[in-house]
Structure 1
C-alpha cells in the first residue's frame, strides 16, 4: 500500500506540470458562456474534418466500431479518431480501482477530489497516446508502409491521434469552466446529431467507404427504391426521443423539513438518477474491448485471440446483411442468420444491462450521490424527515428505500432503451447515441434556464 501511495503521489505531482485551464476569478456572464461553448463546438467540427497525414487510403478501414466511436465524439481517419475515449476510459479505470479498494481516496474531502481529478487527467493524457497506438496497431487504421513498430509513419499517425484527443481534453476543461454544461456531453451530442442529419439527408455519393451510404441517405433511398422499411430507424429515433423526454420528468418526492418546526419541502429523486453516464462508460468499455480484440487478432496471439473474439462478439450489436436486426427480420423472416443474430442480441443486452448496473452504482458512489453522501448534505443544511428526530441515520434509512432501487432501475432502463435502440437503428445511428443526445440537450436546456434565472434574481436583488 505504501508503494501504491507513493505512485499516486508521484502521478499527482506530475500532473502539476501539465498545462491547465485556470478557473475564472469572477462569474462568467451568460453571453460569454455561450460564446465559449459555440467556439468549442466550432473547433470540434473543424478537427472532425482534418484528415490524418500518413494513412494508406488504398486500404479500407475496419468498420466494427464506427457507431460506438460516434458515441465517443470520434471520427475515423480524422484528427479526433479517438475522440473523448481516453477521458472516459481514465474515469472507468479509476472507478474500478476505487471500487476494488486498490485506490483509496476520500471524495468527500476537497483534497480527495483534487487527487482524483489530477489522477484522471494524467491517466487521460497517457491513454491518448496508448489508444492512438492501438488504433494503428490493431489495423483499424493503416499507415503508409504498414503498421510495424519500426515504421516511422506508425508513430507519426499515433501522435496525431493523441494530439486530437488532447485538444478535446482541454476543450472540455474550457467548456466546464467558462461555458455551459460539459464539453464531453457537448461533443457527443454534436457528433451524433451531425451524423444522423447527414445520413438521413445525404445525396448519393459514389465510391463511399461506407456501403450503407453509397447510394445516398435514407430519404433518397426511400424515394428511389420505394423501400419503406428504411424509415424504421427514423421512427425509432422519434419513439426514443419521446420516451426519454417523458422519463426525464419522472421522480419520487421525499418529504423533508427545515428544523423542528420549519418550512416543509420535498427532496426529488429522479428516475434517471444515474443520468446517462452508465451507458457512456459501458459503451466506452465495449469499444476498447473490440479495439483490443482487433489488436490481438492482428498480433495472432494463440488462445487469447479466440477468447477476445468471443468477448468482442458478446459486446457487439448484431447486423443482418449490413442492416439492423429489425430490418433483417422484416426482409428475411426467421432464418439461421436471423436466429443467430437474435441470440447475439440477447447476449449483448444481458451484458449491457449488467455493465450499466455496475457502472451506475460506481457513478452514484463516486459522484457524491450515494445514500450516505445525500444524507450528510441534508443534515448539514439543517434538513430532517418529518415525524423523526434530527439524526443522519434516520435520513439514511429513509433514503435507503429510494436511492439504491432507483439507481438499479434507472441503470437497467437506460441500458435496455439504448440496447434495443441499437438493434432497431443500426445502419443510421445507435439507440445509445439518441438516448445520450436527448438527455444531453435536455440538461443543456435546464442549465441555460438555470443560468438565466440566477441572472434575473441577481438583477432583481439590486432594486
Structure 2
C-alpha cells in the first residue's frame, strides 16, 4: 500500500460530515457559515482546562494569524494541522512525488481523504507537543505534569478535530467557501477590532488596549495625546497608535487595488472559432503564499528554539538568534511595536526587511514551480482545453514560451510587492500585521465574488442548467 493510500484509508475511518442531499440556498449557506464561525470564536475564547497561564507561545503572533489560533485556548492549534497537511499534499502532487491525477474524480476523492488523514496525524503530534510544553511552562491547577499534559492533550485533539469537521462541513456544500478561509478572516478581524475598539485595560498605564477607547480616556484625563500618535512607550509596547491606524487603512486600499489588477493574454478557442477572449493572470500572481511561508519558517524556528531550551541551552540560543531575524522588533526586545522601533534600531529594521523580501522572492518562485502555476503546466492545461494564442501553433512548447514571458516576471514582482507590504506594515505598526491584511483582503474579495456568483444563480435559475448545477 502506497503512502497516499495509507493516508486515504486513515481518512476514511475518521468521522466525517456528509454532503447535503439537496443544495442549500444562499441563506442556508450563510447561516451554517455563521454558526461555524461562532463555534470557532467560542473555542478561541475558552481557556484550556488545567492551565491558568499560557505564556509559552505569547510571541508567535504571526503564526496565530496564519493558523487562526489563540494561545491558551481550545483553538491553540487552530487550523495549523489542516493548512500544514494541505500544503504538503499540494507540494507532493504538484512536484509529481506522488502519482495522482486531480482531474480524475476517484483520485480527487483519494487526495481529499489522504489530506484529512495527514491532518489528523498532525493534530495528534502537535497536541502531544503543545500539551506537554504548556503543562511544563504554564501555571497549572495542580497535579503531576504528566496528568495535566494528558488533560490538555485530550482537549486539543477534540477541539482541533472539531475545527477540521467544521471546515469539512463548509467545503462539502453546507456553507460558503472553506472553513479555513473563514477562520483566518475571523481571526484577523478580531485582532483588528480589539486594536481599534478594545476596552480592556491591560497596560501598565491603565489605558484600554484599543486605540479609540485609549484616545477617549487620554482626552478626558488630559493625558499626553502625542503618545497615541506614535507609541514610544517601552512599558506599553503593544499599544496601537495613529500611525498604525492610517497605515492599516492605506494598505487595505492598496491591497484591494493590487488584488483586482490582472494581466490579459489574448486567446482563441478551437471549439468556438472566431470568438476571441483573454485569459486574466492576477497581478499578485503568487497571492500571499510567499509571506506565509516566511512567517511560518520564522515561527517554527522560534518554536524549536523554545523546545531546545529543555535539551540544549546553547542550541536554543542559536535558534533564538536566527528566529529574531524573522521578526521586528525581535520577540524579546524591549522596544515599542511602532515606527519608533525603526528609530531605535535602524540596522535591525534594514536586516529584517532584506531577509523577509529575499525569502519572499525565493518562496514565490518555488511555489510557482511546485503548485502547478508554472508556464509548462499552464500551457498544457490550455492545450487540453482547446485554447490557443492567436498567431501561434497549438503546441504546448510554443505556448509555454509565451506564458513564460508573463508568469515568471509576475511571480518575481508580485513576491517583492507582497513582501514589501508585509514589511512596511510591520515597521509602521499596522493593525493585524501586514500578513493579516493580505490574507483578510484576499479572502474578503474571494467571498465577495462567491456571494455574487451564488446570488446570480438564485436570481437566474437558467444559469444553473447552463453550468450543469
TM-score (norm 2): 0.84
Matches within 5 A, 1:363-374: 363-365=367-369, 367-374=371-378
2:279 equivalent among 247, 256, 267? 267
- Quote the Cα distance in structure 2 between the aligned partners of 1:175 and 1:187: 11
Kindly indicate whether the alpha-carbon contact (under 8 Å) linking 1:90 and 1:127 is maintained by their aligned counterparts in 2.
yes
1:91 aligns with 2:89: no
C-alpha deviation, 1:145, in angstroms? 6.9
1:308 equivalent among 319, 333, 336? 319
Q: CA RMSD in A?
A: 3.0
- Quote the Cα distance in structure 2 between the aligned partners of 1:182 and 1:367: 19
1:246 counterpart residue number: 257
Q: Which secondary structure does the structure 1 equivalent of 2:424 belong to? A: helix
- Quote the Cα distance in structure 1 between the aligned partners of 2:204 and 2:67: 22
- Quote the Cα distance in structure 2 between the aligned partners of 1:348 and 1:106: 39
1:105 counterpart residue number: 99
1:381 equivalent among 381, 385, 390? 385
1:123 aligns with 2:118: yes
1:328 counterpart residue number: 341
1:449 equivalent among 447, 452, 456? 452
Q: Which secondary structure does the structure 2 equivalent of 1:390 belong to? A: coil
Q: In 2 relative to 1, CA 221–8 (structure 1 residues): closer, same or farther, beyond 3 Å?
A: same
Relative to structure 2, which stretch is displaced further, 44-53 or 129-138?
129-138
Q: In 2 relative to 1, CA 176–98 (structure 1 residues): closer, same or farther, beyond 3 Å?
A: closer
C-alpha deviation, 1:143, in angstroms? 5.4
C-alpha deviation, 1:20, in angstroms? 2.3
- Quote the Cα distance in structure 1 between the aligned partners of 2:177 and 2:439: 14
Q: In 2 relative to 1, CA 100–145 (structure 1 residues): closer, same or farther, beyond 3 Å?
A: farther
2:161 counterpart residue number: 166
1:422 counterpart residue number: 426
TM-score (norm 1): 0.85
1:200 counterpart residue number: 196
- Quote the Cα distance in structure 1 between the aligned partners of 2:366 and 2:109: 18
Q: In 2 relative to 1, CA 173–370 (structure 1 residues): closer, same or farther, beyond 3 Å?
A: farther
Q: In 2 relative to 1, CA 26–282 (structure 1 residues): closer, same or farther, beyond 3 Å?
A: farther
- Quote the Cα distance in structure 1 between the aligned partners of 2:315 and 2:205: 32
Relative to structure 2, which stretch is displaced further, 249-258 or 344-353?
344-353
How many aligned positions are there? Answer: 442
- Quote the Cα distance in structure 1 between the aligned partners of 2:93 and 2:139: 38
Kindly indicate whether the alpha-carbon contact (under 8 Å) linking 1:95 and 1:362 is maintained by their aligned counterparts in 2.
no
- Quote the Cα distance in structure 2 between the aligned partners of 1:146 and 1:349: 44
- Quote the Cα distance in structure 2 between the aligned partners of 1:384 and 1:448: 31
Gaps of 5+ in 1: none
Deviation per residue, 1:326-348 (Å, 9 max, x gap): 1334xxx4xxxx23xx3333343
Relative to structure 2, which stretch is displaced further, 364-373 or 122-131?
364-373
Gaps of 5+ in 2: 219-223, 231-240
Kindly indicate whether the alpha-carbon contact (under 8 Å) linking 1:273 and 1:406 is maintained by their aligned counterparts in 2.
yes
Kindly indicate whether the alpha-carbon contact (under 8 Å) linking 1:274 and 1:360 is maintained by their aligned counterparts in 2.
yes
